Amino acid sequence: MQFYSTNGLSPNASLEEVVMTGLAPDGGLYMPERIPVIPRAFFNNISEMSVSDIAYIVATTVLGDVIDAAELKQIVFDTFSFEIPLRKIDSDIYALELFHGPTLAFKDVGARFLARIISHFTRPGDKEVNVLVATSGDSGGAVATGFHKVPGVKVFVLYPERGLTAMQRNQFTSLGDNVYPIEIMGNFDDCQRLVKEAFVDKRLREEMNITSANSINVCRLLPQMFYYFYGYSQFLRNEDNPNPGKVVISVPCGNLGNLTAGLLAMRMGLPVSRFVAANNTNNSFTRYINEGIYEPMKPVRTIACAMDVGNPSNFSRILDIFGGDHEKIRQTLSGYSFTDEEISESMREIYQRDGYVMDPHGATAYRALRRDLKPGEKGIFLATAHPSKFPHAVGQATGVRQKENQVTRSRVTEHHPTPRITPSLPALKKILLTAT
């Protein structure tokens, strides 16, 4: 398997190059050169299979020629060491709960897989790998936890000065060791831009091995395809009359990594009829779906803060999947955006009706699916974070006070003093080049 750049100017690259560099030298994002279709027979007994078994089959279909089968199996089993239950919410709607990993958000899946793939390609005595990650909330904790104490790797977490909850910040500032938090005096898009600038900076590239752990890294995306197949398998198990091929999947969208993974899963043969994209008021993507015009915007703060993204980095991958054809995109995707009040209203409604507590991101996807689903259709929405990660928003909407869990209790013991810098490349470079 080789990978091409969406900008089309860099040569194709191997998985190792792609994982170790993040972004293509021409500034494009890497995509798998072909998307193999899984044989139909796989779907005959998929409902009997575990998440690891399903993930292993999908992983070998994509990466079987790059990583030895036994090792790939181990990587996949280590990645999926937690439950991903599918819960029935309405008669026609299910929640796929992706938040039972160590940092209680779906990003654990991509981060754990990426950490293991990087270890796979790192040999003793190799130059240290420096992993950069910009976070709007959940990536930082997931990536830092996934890489914490991995030999030969340093992690730099760039986060905006405002917008993260205390718990989200603790998840990476409290680790120390090989994890270095950097506070950026700017918003998430500034953090993301800085990471991109660092990659195309010649001097940095010469002096150190840097890669990205954001969803621009293809190894964050690939494992996210796996749980779409698992969600479908549980759907078959749950439904007396599943009507294969008619299920609709709704995805809460920020940087569009999760949605890109879903679309790739569909290309691999996952029998879904279409996708629903859900935005908060940072709706440059759903506006593009509905109006055909893409205008990046300055992000505004919402209660679904992990989706406060004004210029989603995976937009170019989505265009690439559809050959830039807006009409085709509309046939597969519908898009909705909701205000904080609407998101809260859905959280409250579901809680009052049947006691189910949703986090604001999952609730955004729920609301979009509820709006979009036609009579006779069934749907799954991705519940991307545990409600206890957003105690304030959940409490305001439902009156439920979240129990303190393991992660909220971790105390802040800032092992490295956290530098606070202007969103400029020279300031970042100084830190990267002197971190010890």
Tell which one of 231, 252, 262, 391 touches ligand PLP (CB under 6 A): 252
- Residue 41 CB, shortest distance to ligand PLP, in Å, is 31
Q: Is 257 in the site for ligand PLP (CB under 6 A)?
A: yes
Output the smallest distance, CB 316 to ligand PLP, in A: 14
Amino acid letter for position 136: S
Contact between 306 and ligand PLP per CB under 6 A? yes
Nearest to 369 by CA among 398, 417, 335, 413: 335
CB of 48 to ligand PLP, least distance (A): 29
- Please name the residue that has the structure tokens 């050959």: 323
Site for ligand PLP contains 133 (CB under 6 A): no
Stretch that binds ligand PLP, among 14-22, 35-43, 204-212, 253-261 (CB under 6 A): 253-261
Among 23, 118, 131, 307, binds ligand PLP (CB under 6 A): 307
Q: Are 303 and 360 in contact (CB under 8 A)?
A: yes
Binding mask 188-227 for ligand PLP (x = CB under 6 A): ---------------------------x------------
* 55 binds ligand PLP per the rule CB under 6 A: no
Token code pair at residue 259 = 């949605």
Closest to 232 measured CA to CA, from 379, 81, 40:
379
- 46 DSSP 8-state letter: G
138 belongs to the binding site for ligand PLP (CB under 6 A): yes
**Per-residue b or e along 289-319, where b marks 16 or more CB atoms closer than 10 Å to that residue's CB:** beeeeeeeeebeebbbbbbbbbbbbbbbbbb
Is residue 107 involved in binding ligand PLP (CB under 6 A)?
Answer: yes
* Distance of alpha carbon 232 from alpha carbon 238, whole angstroms: 10
Choice between 385 and 432, CB closer to ligand PLP: 385
What is the H or E stretch that residue 2 is in? Answer: none
Angle in degrees, CA 48, 53, 55, rounded to 5: 120
> Residue 256: CB partners within 8 Å, gap ≥ 6?
215, 285, 312, 313, 314, 315, 317, 318
Closest separation in Å from C-beta 99 to ligand PLP = 8
Instruction: Identify the residue among 276, 385, 394, 397 touching ligand PLP (CB under 6 A).
Output: 385
Binding residues for ligand PLP, per CB under 6 A?
105, 107, 137-138, 215, 252-259, 306-307, 361, 384-385
